[in-house]
Amino acid sequence: MIKYAIIGTGWITVSMIQGIHDVCPQKMSLGGVYSRSDDQAKRFIAQLKERGAVPEDLSIKIFTDLDRLAEDPEIQAVYIASPNRFHYEQSEKMLLAGKHVLCEKPIALKEENLGRLIELAEKKRLVYLEAIMMLHQPQLEKLKEAAGRLGNIFTAHIDFSQLSSKYPAYLAGKNPNIFNPAFGTGAFEDLGIYGIYFIMEMFGYPEKALMQSRFLESGADRSGEALLCYQGKDVTFSFSKVGQNRSCSQIIGDEATLTIESISQLTGITLFAKDGSQEEIYGEESKPVLMGREADTFADLISGALPLSRMRELQEKALKVCRLMEEMRKTAGIFFPFEEGERDAV
Ligand SMILES: NC(=O)c1ccc[n+]([C@@H]2O[C@H](COP(=O)([O-])OP(=O)(O)OC[C@H]3O[C@@H](n4cnc5c(N)ncnc54)[C@H](OP(=O)(O)O)[C@@H]3O)[C@@H](O)[C@H]2O)c1
C-alpha cells in the first residue's frame, strides 16, 4: 500500500481522493494533508470522512510546513494540486526528498523547466507524472479507433469553454487565483492544455500553430482562438473561462463525423455516419472515477506493475505539449509577471 500526501485542499483534491477510494483503494492510502492552515487541514479531513472518501478511523498527519512533509519517511508519494505557480518548486522539493509525484497540470510553463524536473525524477528513480485524466481512460483507444472510421479528415473544431465558478468573484472586484497572472493561470494554461493534449493525441504535432487571446483587466487571458495546421487539414481550437459551451467538439471526415461532449474527460462521444445514423462510442463517467484511473496508473508505475517505459511515454507527451504551448503563448502574447524580460525577447 502506497502512503501518499496531498498539497492544496481545493475541490479537485477531494475529487482525486474520492477517485482513489473508488478505483484503487487497495493501492494507495492517504497518510498526510499539507495546508497553509492547520484549521483548514482539519476541516478538509473532516469533509473527506463525512463523504466517505477515506475510512472514518484513518489516521492522517497534518503538515503546515512543506519541509516537514518532505522529511516524513512514511510518506512515499505526493499529489500536488496547488496553484500553477507553485508546481515547479513543490515538485522539486518533493522529488529531492525522494517522493514520487503526481502533479496537477500544468507542471511547468516552459519545456526547459519540465525537462529539468523529469531529469531529476529519473536520477532519483522516482515516478513523476503530470495529472492529465484523458491519457488514462480506456475510451481514448475507442476514440482513436472510431477516428479511423471517419475517412479523410480535413477539419476538426475543438472547443473547451467552461464558465468559471470564480468569474462572479472576479467581476465583484476580488482577485481569484485563476484570474491572477501572478499564479501562472488564465484560460490557456487552465483549459487550453486539455485541448492541446487532445489535439496532439489525435493529430500529432502541428506544422504551424497560431493563437489569438483576449485578456481581462487583471492581465489573465480569459479566452482564445487557435488554428493548428497539418498536412492536408486544419484544426480550430477555441476555449474560454468566461462562457459555457453548450455544444460539442467535432472531428469531421468525408465518411463520418465524431462529436465529443467533453474533450478533457473523453465522455459523450458519438459517431455520425454519412447517412445520419448514430453510434455511441462512449457515454458518461464520474469525475472521481476518471481521476482515480490516473492515480491507478501512478500507483502501478510505483509498484512496478506497469513498466517505466509507460512513464517515459507519458513524460514525452507532456514535454511536447509544453513545447507547443510555449510556442503558442508567444504568438498570442501571454506572459506572466515572473517571466521577466520574456516579452522584450520576442
Ligand atoms: N484535473 C482537473 O480537472 C483540475 C480541475 C481543477 C484544477 N486543476 C488544477 O489543480 C490546481 C489547483 O487548482 P485550484 O483551482 O484548486 O486552485 P486554488 O483553489 O487557487 O488553490 C488550490 C489550493 O492551493 C492552496 N493555495 C491557494 N492559494 C495559495 C497561495 N497563494 N499560496 C500557496 N498555496 C495556495 C490552497 O490550499 P491551502 O489553503 O490548504 O493551503 C488551495 O486550496 C491547478 O494547477 C489546476 O490547474 C485540475
Q: Does residue 340 register a pLDDT over 90?
A: no
Question: Does residue 81 form part of some domain?
Answer: yes
- What cell numbers appear for 193 in the block? 492544455
Within a 10 A sphere around the Cβ of 323, how many other Cβ atoms?
A: 16
The secondary structure of residue 152, as a DSSP letter, is S
Question: Does residue 227 form part of some domain?
Answer: yes
Closest residue (by CA) to atom 10 of ligand 1? Answer: 81
**pTM of this structure:** 0.96
Q: How far is the CA of 209 from the centre of ligand 1 (A)?
A: 29
Report, as an integer, the average pLDDT of 183-190.
Answer: 96
Does one domain contain both 106 and 189? no
The average confidence (pLDDT) of the chain is: 96
Question: Does residue 199 form part of some domain?
Answer: yes
Residue 31 belongs to a domain with what CATH number?
A: 3.40.50.720
Does one domain contain both 76 and 95? yes
Q: How far is the CA of 9 from the centre of ligand 1 (A)?
A: 7
Report, as an integer, the average pLDDT of 241-246.
Answer: 97
Does one domain contain both 11 and 127? yes
- Residue in 128, 26, 22 with CA at minimum distance from that of residue 80: 128
Closest residue (by CA) to atom 11 of ligand 1? Answer: 81
Question: Does residue 198 form part of some domain?
Answer: yes
Within a 10 A sphere around the Cβ of 54, how many other Cβ atoms?
A: 18
- What cell numbers appear for 121 in the block? 525524477
Residue 144 belongs to a domain with what CATH number?
A: 3.30.360.10
Does one domain contain both 143 and 130? no
Side-chain-side CA neighbours of residue 226 (13 Å): 34
Does one domain contain both 96 and 182? no
Question: Does residue 319 form part of some domain?
Answer: no
Does one domain contain both 155 and 91? no
* Domain range enclosing 15: 2-134+291-306
Q: How far is the CA of 329 from the centre of ligand 1 (A)?
A: 22
Does one domain contain both 125 and 23? yes
Q: Does residue 342 register a pLDDT over 70?
A: no
Mutate to test the pocket of ligand 1, among 82, 178, 218 (most ligand atoms within 8 A of CB): 82
Does one domain contain both 155 and 193? yes
Cα distances (Å, whole numbers) of residue 24 to 60, 288, 301: 18, 11, 13
Q: How far is the CA of 250 from the centre of ligand 1 (A)?
A: 31
Q: How far is the CA of 180 from the centre of ligand 1 (A)?
A: 13
State residue 346's pLDDT score.
42
Q: Does residue 60 register a pLDDT over 60?
A: yes
Query: How many structural domains comprise the chain?
Result: 2
Question: Does residue 83 form part of some domain?
Answer: yes
Does one domain contain both 74 and 165? no
Does one domain contain both 218 and 82? no
Burial of 89 (0-12, 13-18, 19+ CB in 10 A): exposed
Does one domain contain both 145 and 241? yes
State residue 67's pLDDT score.
98
Single-letter residue type at 309: S
Q: What is the pLDDT of residues 146-179, one digit of tens each?
A: 999 999 999 999 999 999 999 999 999 999 999 9
Question: Does residue 158 form part of some domain?
Answer: yes
Q: What is the pLDDT of residues 261-317, one digit of tens each?
A: 999 999 999 999 999 899 999 999 999 999 999 999 999 999 999 999 999 999 999
Question: Does residue 346 form part of some domain?
Answer: no
Closest residue (by CA) to atom 34 of ligand 1? Answer: 82
Q: What is the pLDDT of residues 73-100, one digit of tens each?
A: 999 999 999 999 999 999 999 999 999 9
Per-residue pLDDT band at 339 (split at 50, 70, 90): confident
Does one domain contain both 12 and 44? yes
Query: What are the pocket residues of ligand 1 if the criterion is a CB atom closer than 6 Å to any ligand atom?
Result: 8-10, 12, 35-37, 40, 81-84, 86, 104-105, 131, 177-178, 190
Torsion of CA 287, 246, 84, 114, to 10 degrees: 80
